[in-house]
């Protein structure tokens, strides 16, 4: 489950930033997750719960993960049709060739987090 390592990286970044700001315990983490970012929301939630329960000096017991799902969109470079790809290399539903340029849905980033001093 590569979401464990993704979540580990994210929590490490947050932890470093929190240390700089004098934040003792993290209460809430918000992420933007694109539909075709290769990170599964359920697996991210599970990974977050595991890290939280193992690091209760760093998180509050009720710390929550909020995911904002970014819809996937692609535009065909041949016919300019905009469509919703189900993966990164997606066939244009009209031309039936992999001619889509992804416009959104690949994002995987931290939106914000909250904590207590």
Binding residues: 2, 76, 79, 92, 95
Sites for Zn ion among residues 30-59 (CB under 5 A)? none
DSSP-assigned states of every residue in 26-56: EEEEEEEEETTSS--HHHHHHHHHHHHHH-T
Is residue 77 near Zn ion by the rule CB under 5 A? no
Minimum Å distance from CB 3 to Zn ion?
33
Is the dihedral angle over the CA atoms 7, 9, 13, 18 positive or is it negative?
Answer: positive
Q: Which is nearer to Zn ion, 78 or 103 (CB)?
A: 78
CA-based radius of gyration for the chain: 18
Question: Which residues in this chain contact Zn ion in the complex, by CB under 5 A?
Answer: 76, 78-79, 81, 92, 94-95
């Amino acid at each position: 489950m590569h979401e464990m390592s993704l979540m580990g990286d994210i929590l490490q970044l947050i932890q470093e930033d929190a240390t700089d700001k004098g934040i003792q315990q993290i209460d809430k983490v918000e992420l933007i997750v694109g539909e075709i970012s290769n990170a599964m929301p359920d697996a991210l939630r599970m990974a977050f719960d595991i890290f939280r329960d193992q690091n209760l000096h760093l998180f509050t017991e009720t710390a929550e993960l909020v995911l904002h799902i970014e819809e996937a969109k692609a535009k065909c470079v041949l016919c300019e049709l905009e469509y919703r790809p189900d993966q990164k290399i997606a066939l244009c539903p009209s031309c039936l060739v992999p001619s889509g340029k992804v416009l959104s849905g690949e994002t995987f980033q931290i939106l914000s987090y909250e904590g207590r001093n």
